[in-house]
Amino acid sequence: MAFVQQSSPHAHRARPTSRVMMWVMIAALPGLLAQTLFFGWGNLINVVFCIAVAIGSEAALLALRKKPVGFFIRDNTAAVTGLLLGLSLPQFTPWWVSAVAVISAIVVAKQLYGGLGSNPFNPAMVGYALVLVSFPVAMTTNWAEPATLWGGAPGFGDTLAAIASGQQTAVDGWTMATPLDEYKHKIATHTASEVLVHPTFGDGVARGWEWVNAGFLAGGLLLIGLRIISWHIPVGFLAGLAVMSLAFGSNADLYAPLSLHMLAGGTMLGAFFIATDPVSAATSHQGKLIYGAGIGILIYLIRTWGNYPDAVAFSVLLMNFAVPFIDHYTPPRTYGHHKARRGVPGSQG
C-alpha cells in the first residue's frame, strides 16, 4: 500500500486566511452598528455596495489574469477591502465615487501589483486617497449630520436614493462638517469654547463619532484577543498621535485637543483595522511599533498643519513607502546571536 509522502510538519492548525478575514469583518460590526445608529443608513449602504463592487472587480481581474477565481474570492480579502472603504467613505458619497475608490483599490493597488500578498500599498487607502484628491467636493460635503436613526436621520429609502442619484452633493440639511474639519477651520479665528458650540460636537467629545470610535476600539480589542492582529501597530499608532498631541497641542485654543484626535474621525478604524493590514505593514514587533508610531505622528502633522482634516489614508500610504526600510533595520535578534543583523546583505548597516 502506498503511504502519503509529505514533508514535516504533519499537523496543522486550521485558521485559514478566509477565517481570519471573516473575523476582521465580524470585529468591524460594532463600529458599523454605531455608524448606522448615529449617522443613518449611509455607511451600511456603502459597505454593501463596496463589498459587491470589490468582489466583482476582483473576480474580473482574476479571470483576466487566468487565476482560479473561486479559490481567491473565497479568501475574503476583497470583501474586507470593500468593507473598509464602505466604513471610511462619507455617508452620502455618490455611488460612482465609491465605485471608483473600490475599483482602483482592487484593480490598481492590489491585482496589478500581483494580487493578494504582493501589494506594497494598502489597497483601501489607495482607493480612498485617489477619490479624496480627485473628487474633493464629493468627499468633503457628504458627511452626514449626527442624527440617530430614531431621532431625525434620513430614512433608508431617502439615503439610498441620494447615493444612487449620483449628485456630487447631497441634500444640504442632511450633511454637516465633521468635528475635525470644523475645529481645524474655526480655531484660527475663534476660541475653543466658541468652536465647540457647533452641533457637530454635541455634549461629549464629538457627537456620534465617539461611539463609532468606541465601536472600532472594541472590535480591535477583539482582534487582538483572538491574536489575529498584534497590539504593536495600534499601540504605536495611538501613542504616536497622543504624544504629538500632548507635545504640540496642549493649548485647545490653538489646536484640536487630544480627545478630539482620539475619538473624532477615523482614528480607531485606522489604528485597528487599516494600519494593521499585514500585507503592507512592517513585520517585526519593533518594526510594527515604528510603523504605527509613524502613522500616528503623520496623522497629527497633516491634521494640524496640512490641508486635510483627517489624514489616515495619506499617513498609512506614506508609511507603506517606509515599510521595506523599516523591515531591513528592525529584524529581531535571533536566538544564539549577540545582536540583530540589520540592513541588507553586503551593506554596512
What is the C-alpha to C-alpha distance for residues 103 and 126, in angstroms, rounded to an integer? Answer: 10
Show Cβ contacts of residue 212 under 8 Å, excluding neighbours closer than 6 positions.
31, 34, 35, 38, 39, 268, 269
* Candidates 17-25, 81-89, 159-167, 240-248; binding stretch for another protein (CB under 8 A): 17-25
Among 157, 251, 307, 335, binds another protein (CB under 8 A): 335
The smaller minimum CB distance to another protein, of residues 183 and 272, is found at 272
What is the C-alpha to C-alpha distance for residues 281 and 293, in angstroms, rounded to an integer? Answer: 12
Show Cβ contacts of residue 93 under 8 Å, excluding neighbours closer than 6 positions.
42, 46, 138, 139, 142, 163
Among 64, 191, 194, 341, binds another protein (CB under 8 A): 341
* Candidates 93-101, 126-134, 310-318, 340-348; binding stretch for another protein (CB under 8 A): 340-348
Residue 333 contacts another protein per CB under 8 A: yes
Residue with cell 465580524: 26
What is the C-alpha to C-alpha distance for residues 306 and 174, in angstroms, rounded to an integer? Answer: 27
Among 24, 84, 99, 116, binds another protein (CB under 8 A): 116
Sign of CA dihedral 96, 97, 100, 106: negative
Residue 9 contacts another protein per CB under 8 A: yes
Residue with cell 485647545: 252
The smaller minimum CB distance to another protein, of residues 76 and 213, is found at 76
Residue 71 contacts another protein per CB under 8 A: yes
DSSP 4-18: P--PSP-------HH
Residue 1 contacts another protein per CB under 8 A: yes
* Candidates 154-162, 183-191, 275-283, 291-299; binding stretch for another protein (CB under 8 A): 275-283
What is the C-alpha to C-alpha distance for residues 61 and 57, in angstroms, rounded to an integer? Answer: 6
Q: Give how many residues touch another protein by CB under 8 A.
A: 43
Q: Which residues bind another protein (CB under 8 A)?
A: 1, 3-13, 15-17, 19-20, 71, 75, 77, 115-118, 227, 230, 278-279, 281, 283-284, 327, 331-337, 341, 344-346
